[in-house]
Structures are given as C-alpha cells and as structure tokens.
Amino acid sequence: MNVKLPDGSTRVLADHATAMDLALSISEGLARASVAARVNGSMRDLSAPLSEGAAVELVKFDSDGGKQVFWHTASHIMAQAVKSLWPNVKIAIGPSIDAGFYYDFDTQTPISNDDFPRIEAKMKEIIAQNLPLSRRELSKEEARAYFSNLGETYKDELIRDLPDGETISVYSQGEFTDLCRGPHLPHTGLVKSVKLLSIAGAYWRGSEKNAMLQRIYGIAFPAQKQLDEYLLFLEEAKKRDHRNVGRTLDLFSQSEQVGPGLVLWHPNGGRLRTLIEDYWRQEHYKNGYEIVYSPHIGRATLWETSGHLDFYKENMYAAMEIDEQEYYVKPMNCPFHIVMYKSALRSYRDLPLRWAELGTVYRYEKSGVLHGLLRVRGFTQDDAHIICRPDQMPEEIRKVLRFCLHILKAFGFETFAIYLATKPKEKSVGDQAMWDDATAALAQAVKDEGLVCAIDEGGGAFYGPKIDIKIKDALNREWQCSTIQFDFNLPERFDMTYAGSNNDKQRPYMIHRALLGSMERFMGVLIEHYAGDLPLWLAPQQAMVIPVSQKFVAYAESVHQVLVAADLRASVDYRDEKIGYKIREAENNKIPYMLIVGEKECVANTVSLRKRKKGDAGACALSSVIEDMQKEIREKAIP
C-alpha cells in the first residue's frame, strides 16, 4: 500500500503495515525517536495498522502532541506504581497536562511527599521492564463488568456515562489495565527519567459535592539531561513567582476576609498599575480609539438579550434584587458598548467606531484554579470593540494587529506565537461568506505584518473566528494576552444597524479586542518576566537617595526635591542604619538607581551613583543622572 508523508512524498509499505513499520523503513533512529503517529490528522499508536493512501506524520517527543502522548504514558506508569504499593487504592483519571501529568487516587491511607521516593523507585522498576502497552476494545457492558470486578468504581462511573453502543478502549502494561482512548508509547522503557513534583487535593469531577481525591503531579522525559534542565527551570520559575515577588516588593495582596480571587493593590502595585494604564490610554487615543466607561452591574434583561444567562450563567455571580428587578455584576463589557452604540442612529459615515474600556468584570472561578494574579474572580479587561462596515474590516484588522504588537513590544516582549482559530464544525452563527471574509482578513493581516500563525482548525468560537497572540517570557513560557475576535452573534441579538449609502439598514461587523488580556494577569506575567526587575519607566520607585549618616539628611532631601521636580519617582532612606544595610535593602527592593550622599558629595554638590546589579558608577552631577534617567524612561529601555 501507499502512504503519504508530510513532505508530499509517498512510501510503499506492506499491506497492514503499522506506523512503526513506516518509521523503520526510513531509519532506525527515527523509529527510536518516534512516540506516536498522526494519521489523517488523528493521533494514533505506532502499532496501529495503516490503510491505503493514509497521510502519516511520525510524531517525536519534541512536539506538543508527542509530549502529551509521552506524559500520558508516564501517568499510567505512576498509577501502576501506586497500585502496586497500595493495592486498595482506587484510580480516577490521569491525563497529560501542559507540563507533565497527574493522576487522581482515592486512598484510605493518605499519600504524602515523603512517599515520592518509593513511588519513583517503583516507576523505575516498571520502566526497566520495557512493558509493552497494548490496546484492546470492549463493549460498554464488558468494560463495566471488567472494572466493577476490580472495584474501580470511578472507572465504572465514567463508562456508565458514555453513550450506549460506543466502543471503549483499554490499555494494558503488565498486570495493570486502564480505561483510556490513547494513544500511548510502544513500551514503558522509552521513559528514561521521572520526577514526582507535588501532591494536592482534587474533587472528583471538579465538584465540591463529590469525594476529595489525592492528585499527584509529575514530569517525565526521554533523557536524564532533559529532566535536570527542567528542574533548573522550575527553580528559576520559583524565584520569579509573582506571588513571592509581589510580597517582597509590596505590590498586592489577597485576603480570605475580602474573598478568594479578589486583589488588593498596595501603593507600589497601584503605582505600577497606574503607569501601565496611563500608557495604555495615551496609546489608544493616538491610535484613533475613544475611551468609554460602563457600570459594574446591569439588569437581567440585558444579559438575557446577550445570551449570557443562557450560556454563561454558571460563571456569573448570583443575581441581586433592586427595586424588584434582578441585576447581575458584569462578566463582560460587550453588551454595554452595544447599548451605547444603539443610543443613537448611526450612518455608514460614522464608522468605524473604536471604543475601549478598562472595565472591571467579575466571573466565578472554582477555588481550586485560582492562582495569584493569573487566575482571579475580579479583574480589569483592557477591552475594546471595533464596529465597522464590511469594506472597512480588512484594514481595521491590520491596524489592530499592528497595535497589539506595538503595545506588547513596549513592555519588552519580542517573541510571539500567533494562532488563527477557524470556524468550528459544530453549530455556528453567521453565514459562510462572513466567516470566509473574516478568516481571510485575519490571515492576511498576519501575513502583511511579516508574521506566521498556526491554524487552529475549527477552534473558533461559535460566533466568529479569532487570532490569539501569546507572548513568550524570559523562561520561554507562552502566555495568552491579545485576542482579536469577530462576533457575528451579538450584532444579531441586539439588532445593531447603520444606515447605508442608500439609507438602507445594514448590519455592522463587530470585533472584540484585548491587548493585554486583563490587567491582573498581564501584571503577573510582567513581574515574572522581569523577576521584579522592571524597566525604569515602570519601576514603582525609580531612585532611592541614601544619606551615609543622619548628618547628611538635609542634603539628601534637597537631592530628592530635584528628582521629584524632574518627575522622577524617588524617596529618601531616613533610617539610622549602616550604609551597607541600606544599599542591600534598596537592591532587594529592586530599586534601579541609588544615589548615595555623604560629606564629599555634599561639598561637591554631586551624588555617588550606584545602579542595581551594575554596582558603583562613581561621583556624578545630579543633572547628569537625571538626564540619563529621563532618556532611559523616554526610550522605554529594557534592562
């Protein structure tokens, strides 16, 4: 039979040959490196038979799909090890995740971090046996009977909820069998290094009404060197954790008394946020946007019209009753902007309208997923809506993409991953021509900017295609920030119109757009990217004047006054402490400039300059220091 390779070539194989046979026909090295195959777009085991004309891509570990297969197999190895050590444990689910895997266990004997070495040792035994992973298919009845006999009640519940008549697959390795769609590695021996990372509680199926399970997280690699590098990465990520840095720099806090997922911004954090917001507003005005404001609550009828009460209610806070009417705190800003649009008759000459808002919204997130600033319940979206005519749409998309990149680069992000999500296969709104035009405009905008994007086939929302822009931070982690999203749904639901050139009613295009995503999440990412060492233009405190003793406080205050008059953020360290201690404190607080003043500086009317991480720069005229600082701020220089 013939199969097609990704480069367009074909290869002749024996009938019923597998993907592993294909790999071996190319090279033994490729066979050793392959973990699975993508056959006609679907991930398959290497042992699965191929068919005539199949398009086959051999998948290695160093791909998103390859990592998921590898880590999923590692989760099965961990489950087998835990069952071997604690035979009465019941197993729940064990998927791969963005970085590694986890497995949930129901056990009468709690497992702790102290048990990790035992589990890892058992995993290594299973790996050393090179156990093949074999797939077999069962009927629903056979699968329920099999797992019920083993006492695996969680597996039985999962199977029970599957549609009748559906074929169910299980994977076995040695004496261990698990319910699983697959695919998996050919054998356990391909996992060369493992490390268990943490343990946490997790409710079965994410519901507080169900049993609390123990969730063990782990990571695995094809080589020990990769694991060593990853553990170093985790150490660096821990140092950069925005929650720790935020506490050190006194930027923000969260309190159970206030409520989980709600952020309290301290003066330093408030200053940083103000700097970002002021820049955001300034750039929006420069780029033809108007800034609007909308209420924090709206009547239930508004959210009924928008569809939120039908499709999004589980993420909204409960209604409040005012004047015998139900109101909801807003989960999104969009309906308010549409009502503003409809407050007047609009002509084709009025378009495009570009309305932006730093609008605080509230969404219910389960407590288990809340994470510092990165996942919260109350956050401020840097939201905007572009309402335009169809003929204006391509140019508006190009402008907004250019604007996104301009803003992100100003904060020091230079590497991006761009994804274009197209029309979903299931239900969608809007006619095909609208989808085609919008998708083509998004793709063309990316091309015009000299960028490339990955196509997320069918990944668009039901109401329109979109572009997602993910930034890469100093540790090469991807973070979702900017989104350019078409919406064919809300203009219909709210009956948005404008008068065309013939005075006929036309439906405008509506584009949702966020640059930073949310202020909270973006600030968390920014803090971790710089490990708190923010560029001078963003530093809450740019300079600290440090008198070497109390005798020079008066001169330090005069220096401070000059800095403040130059619109620089500075303060004086008045404490009667040793100079070395005060310098270390300023370094720990990540203050970019330290201006030390003593007798020599006082007599010469200078300062002794010290830059964070660069050390002493010697005696300098204050005017020279100010000039350098202002230039660095003006250029938004990146340290």
Answer whether residue 64 shows pLDDT above 80. no
What is the reported pLDDT for 329? Answer: 97
pLDDT confidence bin for 325, thresholds 50/70/90: very high
65-239 fold: Threonyl-tRNA Synthetase; Chain A, domain 2 (3.30.980)
**Range with lowest mean pLDDT among 84-98, 427-441, 587-601:** 427-441
Answer whether residue 630 shows pLDDT above 80. yes
Q: Which residue has better confidence, 520 or 615?
A: 520
pLDDT confidence bin for 141, thresholds 50/70/90: very high
For 279-306, the pLDDT digits (tens) are 999 999 999 999 999 999 999 999 999 9
Answer whether residue 368 shows pLDDT above 90. no
Q: What is the mean pLDDT of residues 492-506?
A: 95
**Range with lowest mean pLDDT among 175-189, 424-438, 567-581:** 424-438
Average pLDDT, the chain: 94
Instruction: Give the integer Cα–Cα distance in Å for 277 and 279.
Output: 5
Domain range 252-294+330-530, CATH architecture: 2-Layer Sandwich (3.30)
Q: Which tokens hold the place of 348?
A: 């084709």
Contact between 327 and 295 (Cβ < 8 Å): no
2-60 fold: Ubiquitin-like (UB roll) (3.10.20)
pLDDT confidence bin for 583, thresholds 50/70/90: very high
What is the reported pLDDT for 211? Answer: 93
pTM of structure:
0.85
What is the reported pLDDT for 425? Answer: 82
62, 212, 218, 509, 531 from 240: Cα distances, Å: 25, 31, 21, 42, 5
Nearest Cα residue to 335 out of 364, 316, 308: 308
Q: Which tokens hold the place of 233?
A: 């990465």
Answer whether residue 428 shows pLDDT above 90. no
Domain ranges of the chain: 2-60, 65-239, 252-294+330-530, 543-634
Pinpoint the alpha helices (H) of 264-326: 267-286, 300-306, 308-311
Pinpoint the alpha helices (H) of 300-333: 300-306, 308-311
Answer whether residue 345 shows pLDDT above 90. yes
Instruction: Give the integer Cα–Cα distance in Å for 1 and 16.
Output: 8
Q: What is the mean pLDDT of residues 170-196?
A: 96
For 264-279, the pLDDT digits (tens) are 999 999 999 999 999 9
pLDDT confidence bin for 457, thresholds 50/70/90: confident
pLDDT confidence bin for 165, thresholds 50/70/90: confident
What is the reported pLDDT for 411? Answer: 96
Instruction: Give the integer Cα–Cα distance in Å for 228 and 470.
Output: 27
Side-chain-facing half-sphere of 133: CA atoms under 13 Å: 35
CA dihedral (319, 320, 326, 328) in degrees, to 10, reads -50
What is the reported pLDDT for 25? Answer: 94
What is the reported pLDDT for 207? Answer: 83
Q: Which residue has better confidence, 266 or 460?
A: 266
Catalytic positions, please? 334, 363, 381, 383, 385, 466, 512
**Range with lowest mean pLDDT among 206-210, 281-285, 467-471, 581-585:** 206-210
User: CATH for 543-634?
Assistant: 3.40.50.800
Which DSSP string do the residues of 24-80 spell out, in sequence order? HHH-HHHHHHEEEEEETTEEE-TTSBP-TT-BEEEEESSSHHHHHHHHHHHHHHHHH
Contact between 35 and 62 (Cβ < 8 Å): no
Query: With pLDDT > 70 as the criterion, what percentage of the chain qualifies?
Result: 100
